[in-house]
Chain A
């Protein structure tokens, strides 16, 4: 790892049904609108300390709406 790869979370608005599991796991990375739908905070960048939480948010979404992407 050179440190130049950054991870980002994304929520697919078409799939999110408002289970709010991602927000429960990582409130640092997700925010919920008035209607209960989730979106990534800011540009979705995941600091290294939150990588594990980001992975768990992906793996616990019942609708497969949360994604983790790598950008170099």
Chain B
């Protein structure tokens, strides 16, 4: 292959879309195929490939062209023919993607297969023999003719590829226009004030009316107010339209990922020996390109999992009275500023009991909590980051790897994922994402003279905090929010800015679903919509900041990086350092074993507030089951318990090779020297008497042993 790079780039851009469309059309039911269009697409790809000398693409497209030509001429599109067509599309796609590697798949066998199915009579041109080649030329021109006419029609379906960065620059300029509108509004307000002052002056001094030129002054002031008001309203309307138009330029159709999904579906079916078909509805729904980029992986995983795990094997489906071919339906629809994508399948569904069981095993919930959860909440656990693993879902829920990526990408987009399922009937997953990532809503807060914006998806609530509400837990300042202790910091301290010493401060609670932090500020200004720009190239080291935005009056407002502010980045001191300590602590999983609900709850709250992951058990044998199944880093055990008591449990831990090194802290009401000695003999590392209970001592002991 010896082609000019520029020409090859043009070829790739042109042909990729055509192959995508071909695959997409073939993914639908055969009765929805438009064979003429399929023939034309194959023909175009073949012609373009010939020009740049990509033989494998040319030959695969040629074989498909033969097949579609035969169907067009009356060949029955039997299951076998349909399968061959889809196989050809996959081969064509594979040849296209192998272009750069130079290791193109073998196409000869496929061409022979097509030739056999259509009775050895290629309907179009035949590449192998010069005679056939000569015959095809007029035919090819004939087929290509309609497209030339279509392309020549002015403005019809014409497209222009343009770099996303150019659109971003254009969007940035619209911010300036919006800022200019704000300035115009200010001028209009000044004119209003001028009129008001004049009116009140004349009211106080009616004699001025008689003065030469005063009437003219009043008339001019009114005219100024009128004109500025009209101009401002017009500018505001135009700027909104401009912003909307630029935003629309970034929109792409949801079904532009259809071919990718169909390919994943075919691979999953081949692997699992299941049969399934994907139907896309509402594919014309548009979404921001950046949003679709984050939807691609979750959708691939959902479709693949539905085909491989959700859809039953054909014989099982037949026995259940279902069609052998499972149906996976992707429905895209707009909902205001959001887009909903619903993927449903008619497979075996998810058993909520198995998910509950797994949730308890992994420590995501206690058995009591799991039992109290309704089915909807239980399915919600599957899309909680870190919960869903390959083991979890393939064993339990009929859903394999990938739900983690769904959860993570939804969090990135500020969207949500919900699952509904009925055993035996199927599963429905709803992804709800913002239409665009360009503009986002946020809470604007003020520190001194400077404003900052926190993306609204990260802000859980606003509140007011007085100094007296702030407590200290192991060196970390915390405040009670909705019944939980949450670390609290002044935003200024986290950003290295001066902090006001007011007694009562407004605050926002930011978090990412699992972590929370209260940020004290000088003022919560309110909710605004803004366009986030990335920070300049030389500011990547700016901690706690995610970007910048141009707001009212053209002022630059910094956008907070909630994740860094919640978790800390290791570069800051003080409160951020405490956060880092919490994060480090969070990696440790502690087990609290106590039959007293009060003691158990108290210890759990103290340890959780300090950032540890805490499991609980009410007696020794339950604790031992958890120790065997979970990666527990330290156990805090009461001595007097029904069933297996604390000393027995400690001895069991010490006598079992796999748990021999597990640190054990005995927390008990038994405070005599003999009791302490028995604890030490059983193998405890530390002994804390409840009567002398001090939360700092507990935290220090835990930290020392870890």
> Do chains A and B stick together as partners?
no
**Which residues of B are at the interface with A, using a C-beta cutoff of 8 A?**
none
**Which residues of A are at the interface with B, using a C-beta cutoff of 8 A?**
none
